[in-house]
Amino acid sequence: MSEWNASAERELATPGPLRPRRLRNSAAMRELVAETTVLARQLVMPHFVLPAAKANEPIPSMPGISRTGVDDLLRAVESDHKLGIKSVLLFGTPPAGAKNSTGSSASDREGAVPRAVRALRGAFGGDLVIMTDVCLCAYTDHGHCGVLLDGAVDNDRSLVPLAAMALAHAEAGADLVAPSDMMDGRVGALRSALDADGFTSTGILSYAVKYASAYYGPFRDAADSSPQHGDRRSYQMDSRNSAEAEREVKLDEAEGADMVMVKPALAYLDIIRRVRAVTTLPLAAYNVSGEYSAVKAAAERGWLDEAAIVRENLHAMVRAGADIVITYHARAALAGRWI
Ligand code: PBG
Ligand code: ZN
C-alpha cells in the first residue's frame, strides 16, 4: 500500500488518554508541570581562604574560582549575597611553613578560617550561614586527613586535633562545622567537644557519605592537600558501595549530626536518592571540584553549553533528593539566570 491512508492512521494512533506530550506543548505548560525547582536559598558557595588580608590567586584548574584573602573574601561574599547566595563553606590554608605532623595550625585562632568567620559574622550577622570545613589534610605535612601512627592514619588520635579545629571555628562564630575527614566517631567527638565548651548551638554538617574519588583532583591543587604517600582509601568510602552509605548516615545521625552530605554528587545520584529515603535530616549534595572543572573545560572548548549543562546538573541533584547543593557554579548560575 503506497497511498497515505488517513483512516488507518486514526485507527493506529494512541488513544487520547495516553499522550504525555500534551504536557510538553508549550513553555508555559512545561513550567506549570515542572516537578523540580532549584532556588538560590538552597545553594552554598565554597571559598578557599588564604591567611592574608589582601590576596586573590586564581586556581588554574578551576576557572572562575580564586583563593582569596579575608578582605577579598568579604567583597566576593557581599556581591554573591546580592545574587541570593546566603550560605558559604570555607576552606583554609595554613601560612607558609606551618604544616606539621598533627596539623596543629588548623586550630590556630588567628588562622585564615577563624579570621574569615569573624569578619563575615561582623559584616552579615545572622544574614549569612557560615559553614567551615573541618579536616587536617591542608595542615598536615603528610597531607592525610588525620594523624599517623606507624605510617597509617590513626582514627582515635585524629579526633583530638579535629575537635580542637572545630572549637576554633565555633568560637569564631561558625553556624555549622563540617567534618570531611571520614574518621569513625568524629561527629560524636565534635558534638561532645562543642557541648563541653558551651557551643551547644553550633551545628554539625557531616560529610557522612564521602567517597574516595578522583573528582577531588582540582580541589587538592587549590588546597594543597594531596596525600604525600598512599591514598585516602582507608578512610573514604569505596565507590562500589551503596548499602554502606546508609550505615554511615545512621551512625552520624545517632552521633548528633544536624545535616548530612553525599559527596561527590553527579556520579552518586543513586546514593543521594538512597540516603534521602533513610533520613529526615537536611541532605546536602557536594558538586565537587572535578565535576565543576570538567564542565568548565568542555565549555571553554565549545563542546558543551555551560548554562544548559549547569542547569541540568543542578536539577539532577535536587531531583535525586538533595535539599542543599554545595557548588562552585552557584555564582554564575544565579548571575546568568541559568536556574
Ligand atoms: C578535605 C576535603 C576534600 C574536599 C572537601 N574537603 C578533598 C579530599 O578529601 O581529598 C573535596 C572538595 C572538592 O573536590 O571540591 N578532606
Ligand atoms: Zn581532608
Split into its structural domains, the chain has a count of: 1
In the reported structure, the alpha carbon of residue 134 is separated from the centroid of ligand 2 by a whole-number distance in angstroms of 8
Kindly state whether residue 303 falls inside one of the protein's structural domains: no
**pLDDT tens profile 64-120:** 999 999 999 999 999 999 999 999 999 999 999 999 999 999 999 999 999 999 999
Question: Is the Cβ–Cβ distance between 279 and 268 less than 8 Å?
Answer: no
**pLDDT tens profile 11-33:** 776 666 789 999 999 999 999 99
Kindly state whether residue 58 falls inside one of the protein's structural domains: yes
Residues paired with residue 87 on neighbouring β-strands, in sequence order: 129
Kindly state whether residue 122 falls inside one of the protein's structural domains: yes
Q: Give me the DSSP letters along 44-57.
A: EEEEEE-SSSS-EE
Alpha helices in the chain (DSSP H): 6-12, 27-33, 70-83, 112-124, 155-172, 186-196, 217-223, 243-255, 269-278, 289-300, 306-320, 330-335
Q: Structure pTM?
A: 0.96
* Parent domain of 220: 37-259
Kindly state whether residue 322 falls inside one of the protein's structural domains: no
Kindly state whether residue 325 falls inside one of the protein's structural domains: no
> Which residue has 551503596 as its cell numbers?
242
289 lines ligand 1 (CB under 6 A): yes
Query: Ligand 1 pocket test: which of 59, 135, 140, 296 has the largest number of ligand atoms within 8 Å of its C-beta?
Result: 135
Q: How far apart are CA 161 and CA 250, in angstroms?
A: 24
Q: How far apart are CA 156 and CA 187, in angstroms?
A: 12
Contacts of 286 (CB under 8 A, 6+ apart): 207, 261, 262, 263, 264, 265, 326, 327
Pick the catalytic residue: 54, 82, 99, 210? Answer: 210
Kindly state whether residue 204 falls inside one of the protein's structural domains: yes
Which ligand gives the minimal distance to the CA of 145? Answer: 2
Kindly state the helix (H) or strand (E) to which residue 38 belongs, with its residue range. Answer: none
Whichever domain contains 75, its CATH number is 3.20.20.70
* pLDDT score of 14: 64
Kindly state whether residue 84 falls inside one of the protein's structural domains: yes
Kindly state whether residue 29 falls inside one of the protein's structural domains: no
Contacts of 255 (CB under 8 A, 6+ apart): 185, 187, 188, 191
**pLDDT tens profile 252-290:** 999 999 999 999 999 999 999 999 999 999 999 999 999
In the reported structure, the alpha carbon of residue 219 is separated from the centroid of ligand 1 by a whole-number distance in angstroms of 6
